Chain A
Amino acid sequence: MQIVACYSNKGGVGKTATAVNLAYAFATSGRRTLLCDLDPQGASGFYFRVKPSKKLTEARFFEDVEHFTKSIRGSDYDNLDILPANMSFRDFDVFLSKMKDARSRLKKALKAVKGDYDIVLLDCPPNISILSENIFRAADAVVTPVIPTTLSQRTFEQLLEFFREHDLPMEKIHAFFSMIQGTKTLHGEMIVELTHNYPKRIMAAKIPFASEIERMGVVRAPVLATAPDSPAGKAHQALFDELLERIVP
């Protein structure tokens, strides 16, 4: 099982859209996928029309593994399940450690319901805290969307700094440019500059600013499912393909 965290320490960068489309792509590729909606401001559950689970907001949730497995909902797509949760960081931390530990009750419970997943995708909350370190340690890959603006550059560099300070393996970071507007000169310049500065951390795939992605909130389905041949659909597919190449051992 691999854990892929969709993470950005800045909000509104297209993180949830990425999580939703990557989850869909993983599932379509035949991998049993669990998408965990961990972002209280995010809406990955919403995009799959799954209603939030009331039980999961309860503080003692993770003391009971059964509650966890019962809260998982099948999406409308094969191989793709959703955990619609608004977790506290404390719960999140426990969640990660249990996901990783093959001997944990959580792992066993998942196995028991034939939900031993190949990929667990985390739609993470947008901030850096002490506990984020645990996410970064647990995850096999941290996928980070970056809007090519100076402000995003700053937050991206803060993330890199955080990794350095906490002695985290930098190779886990897989950043890509998101919400690119071809008409903006600044975007073009930032892409060149950042790619030059961090050639290994930034992927080639680029997600454009596209109406299809915005419309995901209306159609409530991944772009890859509704408009796979649109520029945004193709861009997400390219992102998935590239990510797969980078993370599959």
Chain B
Amino acid sequence: MNSKSANYYMSVEQLSNLAGSDIQGLVPILDWDENEYSFAILDCFEQSLRKSQRLLFVIDEQVELLTTEGIILSQHARPDTRFVTGFQEGPVKEALTGLSPLRALLTVASGTMRNGKLSLIDNEGKTHTRAGLRELMPISGKAVVLITPQGLRGYDQALDDLTAHIRTSGGTPLTAGNLYRMIDHACVDYVAKPTIEIHQEETAFDTATNLIDSYLSIVRMNEYGIIHDLDTEFLHDYRIALRKIRSILSLFKGVYDIDQTHQLKIRFSALMTPTGPLRDLDVYLLEQESFYSLVPHTMHSGLDAMFSLMRSRRTDEQARLAIHLKIGRYKKEIKALTKLFSKKRKLKPGPNSGCTSYDFACELIWKRYRKICRLAATINVATPDQEIHQLRIECKKLRYPMEFFSAIFPQEPFDSLLKSLKRLQDSLGLFNDCVVQQINLQAFVDDLNDEQHQLEITQSIGSLITILYQRQSAEREKITNAFVRFSSDRMQRSFRTLFQSRKEF
């Protein structure tokens, strides 16, 4: 019986070398099936499957997952399945539970493949061990062979010998290498939250510029996915990267020349503006299920009509944004900004440009934290929504620099502070979502001009708003308590130790 073992990959040339000579007295025999199949390797944009050391195939109408343990899971799949959630129930879907339901499965490579085997036989023609082979011949890119050694019972030595030989012939364990890059050398490795290297003694100017440069490349990498509407996360990541850039421009005061900073803020704001309407619609449509669960069944027909209207508006907005991203004006502007931050020559330093990033970070974070503490002291159950909203913004202004500069502070105490902040923000986020959704839903109703089902939609939205208001009220008490914790003496001491210690020495 076969024992499970690791999977390897190598080039076609490496395989012919491997099969070219005896292995410990056993003769290698290559045997290919006549049938060819169409194949596609699927993964999310950030290559979550590859990074979790797995490989997802579609072979004709079958979807196969090669797990980290070298086990092959398979099930039937409709050819148009784009999201994990679209798979029928089965072992592959179950194994992919951890994959983001929001990320589309994109084709990394596709083409034809054939199966084969490599056997090592003795002088009596008995197989001692073999390896299952899959030759992938992509339409574009380099052909590779996947090798799965399969031990035969009682012939452990031969399996060990074959595995060692695969390695010395250039075989890379699937769990260790990057198969995608072997197929296509230009295959982009996308990371939505890159670790950007910052040193304590580098100038705030360099830090800000490097950060913006890195986030600009994220902006650019997401353009294709937005234009082709691959999934909603492309636009989400695009906007987050832009938001980070804008927050750097406003938080890193005096790092760039004041006029230039002002101009840059306007330019980046102009990039953000056209993306808003589509993202808002995406958020609603992604929340569809939870909206349905909030209101009674009798209100569902109104929601049906509302979401149908939203879907049609989304189609229009998506097309509009895609055109915007494809036209010359946008391209010219984004290229100019990218060049500005990568070349740095035309960036004008401001009065604080020479500060070390450590000093700059300490002062910035401490100042932001103090401001939150001051505001938090005035919070109570009667505080108007607007003030809570302001606190939310202040928390964001603290969160971004903490994230930007995380690399230059001691990890353990820093992470613990960041975690507390995140908890607070979660609560604020929930509160804000409720407020914003109430406003937006009301605006949606107000905008309905003699639409079909207008009455139904208005009724459903009415009951949704009621529930959202109740949620908002429930969240408010939590927020008050969370702020008390976040501005406690203990927390203030921690912030002081981390961000004010150098000054005191």
Q: Which residues of B contact A70 (CB under 8 A)?
A: 154
Of B2, B125, B154, which one neighbours A49 at CB under 8 angstroms?
B125
Query: 27 A–B contact pairs at CB < 8 A?
Result: A32-B1, A49-B124, A49-B126, A51-B124, A51-B126, A70-B154, A73-B152, A73-B153, A73-B155, A74-B1, A74-B2, A74-B151, A74-B153, A75-B152, A76-B119, A76-B126, A76-B152, A79-B1, A81-B153, A81-B154, A113-B153, A114-B1, A114-B3, A115-B1, A115-B153, A220-B124, A220-B125
Interface of B is mostly: loop
Cα distance A209–B495 in the bound complex, in angstroms: 93
- Bound CA–CA A50/B127 (angstroms): 9
Binding site for A on B (CB under 8 A): 1-3, 119, 122, 124-127, 151-155
Number of A-B contacts (CB under 8 A): 41
Cβ distance B173 to chain A, nearest Cβ, rounded Å: 23
Size category of the A interface is 10 to 19
Q: Which of chain A's residues have a CB closer than 8 A to the CB of B126?
A: 48-51, 76
Interface centre among B122, B152, B154 (most CB of A within 10 A): B154
Asked if A72 CB lies within 8 Å of chain B CBs, one says yes
C-alpha gap A115/B138 in the complex (Å): 39
Residues on the A chain within 8 Å of B124, using CB: 49, 51, 220
* Known pairs A49-B125, A51-B124, A220-B125; A81 contacts B155 (CB<8 A): no
Q: How far is the CA of A180 from the CA of B84 in the complex (A)?
A: 60
Flag whether A195 is at the interface (Cβ < 8 A).
no
Closest A residue to B130 using CB positions: A76
Q: A153 at the A/B interface (Cβ < 8 Å)? A: no
Contact indicator per residue, chain A 65-97, by CB within 8 Å of chain B (1) or not (0):
000001111111011010000000000000000
- Most A-side CB within 10 Å, residue of B119, B124, B127, B153: B153
Measured in the bound complex, the distance between the Cα atoms of B32 and A239 in whole Å is 32
6 closest A-B pairs by beta carbon, nearest first, are A74-B152, A49-B126, A73-B154, A74-B153, A76-B127, A49-B124
Contacts of B154 in A (CB 8 A): 70-74, 81
Given contacts A73-B154, A113-B153, 20 further A-B contacts (CB under 8 A): A32-B1, A49-B122, A49-B124, A49-B125, A49-B126, A51-B124, A72-B153, A72-B154, A73-B155, A74-B2, A74-B151, A74-B153, A74-B154, A75-B152, A78-B2, A81-B1, A81-B153, A81-B154, A220-B124, A220-B125
Whole-angstrom distance between the Cβ of B128 and the nearest chain A Cβ: 9
Chain A residues whose C-beta falls within 8 Å of the C-beta of B1 in the assembled complex: 32, 74, 79, 81, 114-115
B4 to chain A, nearest CB (A): 10
Q: CA separation between A175 and B1, bound complex, in Å?
A: 31
Q: A73 to chain B: which residues have CB within 8 Å? A: 152-155
Name the B residues within 8 Å of A114 (CB-CB): 1, 3
Closest-CB distance, A215 to chain B (whole angstroms): 15
**A53: nearest residue on chain B (CB-CB)?**
B154
Q: Which of A49, A72, A74, A115 has the largest number of chain B CB atoms within 10 A?
A: A74
Query: In this complex, what residue of B is CB-closest to A80?
Result: B1
CB distance from A122 to the nearest CB of B (A): 18
**0/1 interface trace, chain A 41-64, chain B, CB 8 Å (1 if under):** 000000011110000000000000
- For the complex formed, measure the closest distance between the CB of A142 and the CB atoms of chain B, giving whole angstroms: 26
- In the complex, A65 Cα to B458 Cα: how many Å? 77
Which B residues lie within 8 Å of A50 (CB)?
Answer: 126
Interchain CA distance A90-B42 in the complex, whole Å? 58
A220 to B123, CA, bound (A): 13
- Taken together as a complex, chains A and B put the C-alpha atoms of A203 and B127 apart, in Å, by 35
Q: Which residues of B contact A71 (CB under 8 A)?
A: 154
A248 CB to closest chain B CB (Å) equals 22
Docked complex Cα distance between A124 and B471 (Å): 78
Chain B proximity of A4: nearest CB distance (Å): 19
